[in-house]
Amino acid sequence: MAESKDSEPLDTTGLPVGVVGAGTMGTGVAQCFAAAGHPVVVVDPDPAARAAGPERLRAGVRAARLLRRSAVGPVEERVTWAEKPSALSGVGFVVECGPERLPVKEEVLRELDRVCPPEAAFASCTSAIPIARLGSFTARPSRVIGTHFMNPAPLKDTVEVIRSPHTSDGTLALTVGLLAGLGKKAIVVGDGPGFVSNRVLMLTVNEAAAVVAAGTADADTVDRVFQDCFGHPTGPLRTADLIGLDTVIDTLVVLREHTGDERFTPTPLLARLVADGSLGRKTGRGFHPYPSPRAADRSRSEGAGSHV
């Protein structure tokens, strides 16, 4: 059990953790917890995702070791892979890393609420959906919180933590404590569409795409302005390529639906790239070309801040 009372968090050393989603973000989050000594169960109904997960995890562990990121023992041996959420019946903390679509997250959270212990807390890695809305799909809104990990999760030292009006002090303390055990700093923000990071970033990405479409500058020049003039490690369009342009569109749609602000309508250029299958680094081309998976991995290790 992770906590006896909302105000009295217990020792979380070795607390079993669940992760929903065996994609890039889910596997990265699983790696973080396993490297810190937690047994981790990763659940994904897609057999292809589960099959790819172990190799993705091994690649992440190799990258962390090359960069001298510490790991406690055999990381891969602490992670198990499962098809159904019932495998999470013994965990104390679950990080939900499913697609950025409200119906999907609603289904996942309702099922987690049914199968997980009553004291278990649920943390969503949502990019933009308000945490209060997600908490309403459970009978435990006080134990629902947002943990917006940046991509790649094992190489990023800070997590945007979103507290809804219903999130308890104990759930917040548990989450911040767990993150500290991973060697990560929590920046706690209030609830709202897109929180801080994506409320600002997604509008910036959308406008940067509009600038390219208008012919004011090409993608490389747009990014160099942000890098050279403002000191950003990467520009908005390379960051979007790292996130995945399909995820960017999903996030923009969520922001438009929850704010009513038409500025979050995806630009035609962004929509066209996704329709063409140019999704960013994961497909080898987005706003920029990525000539091989190995080149994409090198670019990822350079570290643009992003999310799912």
Q: How far apart are the first and last CA of the chain?
A: 29
- Residues 6+ positions from 103 with CB-CB distance below 8 Å: none
Interaxial angle between packed helices 245-259 and 236-243, expressed in degrees from 0 to 180 and rounded to the nearest 10: 100
- What would the two tokens of residue 239 be? 């960051």
CA distance 199 to 221: 24
CA distance 123 to 98: 11
User: Of 175, 234, 180, whose CA–CA distance to 208 is shortest?
Assistant: 234
DSSP secondary structure code for residue 39 in this structure: -
Q: What radius of gyration, in Å, describes the C-alpha atoms of the chain?
A: 19
The beta strand positions in the chain, using DSSP E, are 3-5, 8-9, 17-20, 40-43, 79-82, 93-96, 121-124, 144-148, 158-163, 185-190
Please enumerate, as own/partner, the contacts of 65-73 that have beta carbons within 8 Å and a separation of 24 or more: 67/155, 67/301, 69/35, 69/154, 69/155, 70/35, 70/183, 71/35, 72/35, 72/36, 72/37, 73/37
Which residues are marked as active site? Answer: 148
CA distance 56 to 152: 12
Sign of the torsion angle spanned by Cα atoms 184, 197, 151, 27: positive
